[in-house]
């Protein structure tokens, strides 16, 4: 039954690509219909028992087309369809024809192409075809990121993304070719865990997909691409596209045997990504960059869960591994929902004020109450606070880690530091989003642009409300989502899809419902009480200062000052200070900026050195024939000497 739905989704998206340039309404209808159909197919697989598989007679590149939708891919497909549909609705108002006559039609076409190619990445079951659709996906994303390509920094971000993406694809080329060479076929038949000789290929998987996922030292492309892309593109990039990297790691760690060290490395990478990602996020002044770095953190949380599951697999105790894997898989959905919501909120702010600098905003709740409320909800969810979805998935990961520690096996030495690092990352996520929402929405407007903002329309609000509903839904009724997670876990490792819930999700859900009701009741009660007692408006007290003004407020860098001091060794902030001088100082200045440390301090210098060496070597190639003949003769003599010295083979 998923077959016809998928065929319909495919047809709708292809038609969307064709008609997208001219007919925006038809395009929207087709995209929404296609994603809904895809979502239906994913749900059928997740809630049913059987996988969907289709081996066709068509061949592409001498390989027969083989499609498959199992628990793992259906989980990611469901997320793709939700965000893909919501983003299409959002884009209509956010990136309209009126303001962007050239790029809006282009954006529609590439959007459909991106959703389609990601859907194909999730369904193709042939190594060669996987590489083709993977490349297609990378290119669609590139054109969407550079939609506003008149701006220089957008083009730079796009090229950086494309270069990083291809570096990853190179590892994937190596991986799929080696896999095909060792198994004798490009076809991916499914689990091959008994082939122990394939286990070393996992490192290529981790490197290749790790770049796309944005794991910490490989995340260099992510902040600038997410920040400079139009916000609906940032939402799908951050909510879904980087999850394709996670999908690859989950997929092939489930199908292929993994080396014994895999669990240790994945959990270590995850914990590092979580802690350093959020440290960078907290130090940002640009709210879209902050959200981008926060994605690095959340990818870290997912990898910690996956790493724990791999450890459990190699050590033979499956029970806590199941919890951690369930947490990781649920976090894929959770993060997809709240991060898309936050990027939509960020887009709404950007749309209204035209700036991404938090220190130029403030007080927007007055003009943008809907955006402020929804952004606050997303902030609570991303900080992992109860009673929302972020807490549920992080709680499952924590439970897995705690059980690993109490089992006192060798894995405990990985789980223990990971749990403590996750706790610190959680506290810093809370701090980052307290900062972001406060700087953008609270206090007094810091500039004219912020003072004259306007609320977004229904076309942008509706997708945000839908995603907020997902966040609240997973938070209040996690048990409803359990069957899907169980199904995916069962596809990852047969035997892990057991019927019973290993964690008291019902108890947690009911506590969350009680908490939500009490929170609303208490807020309403206190609000009423304050009004019946008499409510008077007055100036902020500010310790008796009589004429406070907007620039006296705490700004983003000062809010993050303490923590970015602790992480100075990696953040390497650039400071510009002009101290006040004399008895009547006229000016003073303090600017602080956190650079892209990994890119500017490590990758940049290394690439520059490679370029210098290459330029020097290039002087050998000057086009003078006689010298080329000299090279050949010299080469022959050298070979001859080598043969003479080494003897005949």
Partner 1 sequence: MNLILAVILRLAVWLLLAPLLPGIINKVKAWVAGRRGPPVLQLYYDLAKLWRKGVVLSTLASPGFIAGPAVAWVALLGAAMLMPLGPGGTALSFRGDVLLLIYLLALARFCTAWAAMETGSAFEGMGAAREVSYAVLAEAAIVTAVLSLSVQTGSVSLVTMLSPSAGAGAVLLAAGLFTVLLAENCRVPFDDPNTHLELTMIHEVMVLDHSGPPLAAILHGASVKLLLFAVLLIQAVLPLGALSAPAAAGALVAGVLAVTVGVGLVESWLARLAFRRVPLLLTTAFLLCLFALLVAWKGGAK
CB of 306 to partner 1, least distance (A): 20
Does position 363 interact with partner 1 (CB under 8 A)? The reply is yes
Q: Are strands 589-593 and 574-578 parallel, antiparallel or unpaired?
A: antiparallel
Bridge partners (DSSP) of residue 593 are 574
Stretch that binds partner 1, among 236-244, 307-315, 553-561, 620-628 (CB under 8 A): 553-561
Does position 128 interact with partner 1 (CB under 8 A)? The reply is no
Query: Among residues 566, 627, 628, 631, which is the contact residue for partner 1, using CB under 8 A?
Result: 566
Stretch that binds partner 1, among 80-88, 163-171, 428-436, 618-626 (CB under 8 A): 428-436
CB of 382 to partner 1, least distance (A): 11
The span from the CA of 474 to the CA of 485, in Å, is 12
Residue 122 near residue 76 (C-beta atoms within 8 A): yes
CB of 511 to partner 1, least distance (A): 7
**How many residues contact partner 1, by CB under 8 A?**
78
Residues 6 or more apart in contact with residue 606 via CB below 8 angstroms: none
Does position 367 interact with partner 1 (CB under 8 A)? The reply is no
What is the CA angle 23-114-84, rounded to 5?
Answer: 75
Between 373 and 483, name the residue whose CB sits nearer to partner 1. 373
Residue 231 near residue 344 (C-beta atoms within 8 A): yes
Residue 297 near residue 44 (C-beta atoms within 8 A): no
Query: Among residues 148, 403, 592, 596, which is the contact residue for partner 1, using CB under 8 A?
Result: 403
Stretch that binds partner 1, among 162-170, 228-236, 296-304, 433-441 (CB under 8 A): 433-441
Between 139 and 427, name the residue whose CB sits nearer to partner 1. 427
Query: Among residues 277, 347, 384, 497, which is the contact residue for partner 1, using CB under 8 A?
Result: 384
φ/ψ bin of 588: left (φ > 0), alpha (ψ from -120 to 50), beta (otherwise)? beta
Between 59 and 547, name the residue whose CB sits nearer to partner 1. 547
Does position 568 interact with partner 1 (CB under 8 A)? The reply is no
Stretch that binds partner 1, among 75-83, 110-118, 158-166, 400-408 (CB under 8 A): 400-408
Between 316 and 544, name the residue whose CB sits nearer to partner 1. 544
Bridge partners (DSSP) of residue 187 are 126
CB of 209 to partner 1, least distance (A): 30
3-state SS of 567-620? CHHHHCCEEEEECCCCCCCCCCEEEEECCCHHHHHHHHHHHHHHHHHHHHHHCC
Query: Among residues 426, 463, 475, 478, which is the contact residue for partner 1, using CB under 8 A?
Result: 426
Between 258 and 418, name the residue whose CB sits nearer to partner 1. 418
CB of 348 to partner 1, least distance (A): 17
Stretch that binds partner 1, among 90-98, 107-115, 119-127, 555-563 (CB under 8 A): 555-563
Q: What is the dihedral of CA 390, 394, 396, 398, to 10 degrees?
A: -160
Q: Cite the DSSP H helix spans in 442-504.
A: 448-451, 458-476, 478-492
Stretch that binds partner 1, among 51-59, 166-174, 442-450, 576-584 (CB under 8 A): 442-450
How buried is 308 (Cβ within 10 angstroms: 0-12 exposed, 13-18 middle, 19+ buried)? buried
Query: Among residues 561, 580, 585, 640, which is the contact residue for partner 1, using CB under 8 A?
Result: 561
CB of 222 to partner 1, least distance (A): 23
Does position 473 interact with partner 1 (CB under 8 A)? The reply is no
Stretch that binds partner 1, among 76-84, 226-234, 339-347, 422-430 (CB under 8 A): 422-430
Does position 546 interact with partner 1 (CB under 8 A)? The reply is no
Between 130 and 481, name the residue whose CB sits nearer to partner 1. 481
Residue 409 is classified by DSSP as S
Closest to 198 measured CA to CA, from 172, 173, 180, 171:
180
Residue 223 is classified by DSSP as H
Between 200 and 406, name the residue whose CB sits nearer to partner 1. 406
Does position 319 interact with partner 1 (CB under 8 A)? The reply is no
How does DSSP assign 257-319, residue by residue? ---TTHHHHHHHHHHHHHHHHHHHHHH-SBHHHHHHHHHHHHHHHHHHHHHHHHHHHHHT-HH
Does position 419 interact with partner 1 (CB under 8 A)? The reply is yes
Does position 442 interact with partner 1 (CB under 8 A)? The reply is yes
**Binding residues for partner 1 restricted to 502-541, rule: CB under 8 A:** 503-504, 507-508, 511, 515, 518-519, 522-523, 525-527, 529-530, 533-541
Closest to 329 measured CA to CA, from 35, 500, 121, 73:
73
Between 54 and 402, name the residue whose CB sits nearer to partner 1. 402
The span from the CA of 39 to the CA of 82, in Å, is 7
Phi/psi of residue 399, nearest 5 degrees: -60, -45
Does position 434 interact with partner 1 (CB under 8 A)? The reply is yes
Stretch that binds partner 1, among 183-191, 287-295, 334-342, 371-379 (CB under 8 A): 371-379
Question: 504 by DSSP, 3-state: which?
Answer: coil
**Binding residues for partner 1 restricted to 320-359, rule: CB under 8 A:** none
Q: Are strands 52-60 and 574-578 parallel, antiparallel or unpaired?
A: unpaired
Does position 372 interact with partner 1 (CB under 8 A)? The reply is yes
Burial 252-268 (b: 16+ CB within 10 A, else e): bbbbbbbbeebbbbbbb
CB of 409 to partner 1, least distance (A): 12
Between 137 and 395, name the residue whose CB sits nearer to partner 1. 395
Q: What is the H or E stretch that residue 64 is in?
A: strand 63-69
Question: 357 by DSSP, 3-state: which?
Answer: strand
CB of 363 to partner 1, least distance (A): 7
Does position 383 interact with partner 1 (CB under 8 A)? The reply is yes
CB of 93 to partner 1, least distance (A): 25
């Amino acid at each position: 039954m998923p077959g016809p739905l998928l065929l319909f989704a495919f047809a709708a998206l292809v038609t969307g690509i064709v008609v997208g340039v001219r007919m925006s309404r038809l395009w929207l209808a087709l995209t929404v219909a296609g994603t809904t159909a895809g979502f239906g197919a994913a749900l059928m697989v997740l809630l049913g028992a059987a996988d969907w598989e289709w081996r066709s007679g068509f061949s592409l590149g001498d390989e027969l087309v083989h499609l498959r939708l199992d628990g793992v891919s259906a989980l990611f497909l469901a997320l793709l369809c939700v965000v893909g549909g919501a983003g299409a609705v959002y884009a209509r108002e956010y990136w309209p024809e009126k303001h962007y006559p050239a790029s809006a039609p282009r954006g529609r076409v590439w959007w459909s192409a991106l959703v389609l190619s990601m859907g194909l990445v999730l369904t193709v079951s042939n190594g060669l075809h996987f590489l083709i659709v993977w490349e297609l996906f990378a290119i669609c994303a590139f054109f969407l990121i550079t939609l506003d390509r008149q701006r220089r920094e957008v083009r730079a971000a796009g090229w950086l993304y494309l270069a990083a993406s291809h570096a990853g694809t190179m590892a994937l080329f190596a991986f799929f070719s080696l896999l095909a060479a060792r198994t004798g076929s490009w076809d991916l038949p499914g689990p091959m865990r008994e082939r122990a000789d394939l286990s070393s290929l996992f490192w290529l998987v981790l490197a290749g997909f790790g770049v796309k996922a944005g794991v910490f030292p490989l995340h260099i492309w992510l902040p600038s691409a997410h920040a400079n892309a139009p916000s609906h593109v940032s939402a799908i990039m951050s909510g879904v596209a980087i999850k394709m990297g996670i999908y690859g790691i989950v997929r092939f760690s489930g199908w292929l045997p993994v080396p014994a060290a895999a669990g240790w490395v994945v959990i270590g990478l995850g914990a590092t990504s979580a802690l350093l990602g959020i440290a960078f996020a907290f130090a940002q002044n640009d709210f879209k960059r902050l959200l981008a770095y926060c994605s690095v953190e959340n990818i870290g949380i997912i990898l910690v869960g996956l790493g724990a599951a791999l450890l459990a697999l190699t050590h033979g105790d499956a029970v806590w591994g199941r919890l951690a894997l369930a947490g990781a898989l649920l976090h894929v959905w959770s993060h997809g929902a709240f991060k898309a919501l936050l990027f939509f909120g960020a887009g709404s702010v950007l749309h209204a004020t035209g700036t991404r600098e938090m220190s130029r905003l403030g007080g927007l709740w007055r003009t943008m109450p809907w955006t402020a409320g929804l952004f606050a909800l997303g902030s609570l969810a991303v900080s992992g606070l109860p009673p929302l979805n972020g807490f549920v998935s992080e709680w499952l990961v924590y439970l897995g880690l705690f059980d690993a520690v109490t089992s006192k096996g060798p894995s405990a030495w990985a789980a223990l530091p990971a749990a403590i690092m996750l706790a610190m990352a959680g506290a810093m996520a809370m701090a980052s989003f307290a900062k972001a929402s406060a700087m953008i929405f609270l206090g007094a407007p810091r500039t004219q642009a912020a003072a004259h903002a306007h609320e977004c329309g229904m076309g942008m609000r509706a997708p945000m409300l839908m995603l907020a509903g997902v966040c609240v839904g997973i938070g209040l009724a996690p048990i409803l989502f359990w069957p899907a997670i169980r199904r995916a876990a069962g596809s990852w490792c047969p035997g892990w899809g057991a019927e019973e819930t290993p964690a008291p999700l019902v108890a947690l859900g009911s506590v969350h419902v009680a908490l939500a009701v009490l929170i609303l009741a208490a807020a309403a009660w206190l609000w009423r009480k304050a009004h019946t007692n008499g409510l008077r408006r007055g100036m902020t007290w500010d310790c008796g200062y009589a004429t406070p003004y907007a620039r006296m407020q705490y700004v983003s860098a000062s809010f993050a000052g303490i923590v970015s001091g602790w992480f100075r060794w990696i953040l390497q902030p650039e400071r510009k200070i002009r101290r006040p001088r004399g008895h009547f100082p006229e000016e003073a200045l303090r600017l602080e900026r956190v650079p892209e440390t990994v890119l500017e301090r490590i990758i940049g210098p290394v690439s520059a050195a490679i370029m210098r060496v290459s330029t020097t070597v290039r002087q050998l190639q000057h086009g003078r024939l006689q010298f080329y003949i000299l090279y050949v003769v010299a080469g022959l003599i050298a070979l001859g000497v080598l043969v003479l010295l080494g003897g005949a083979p």
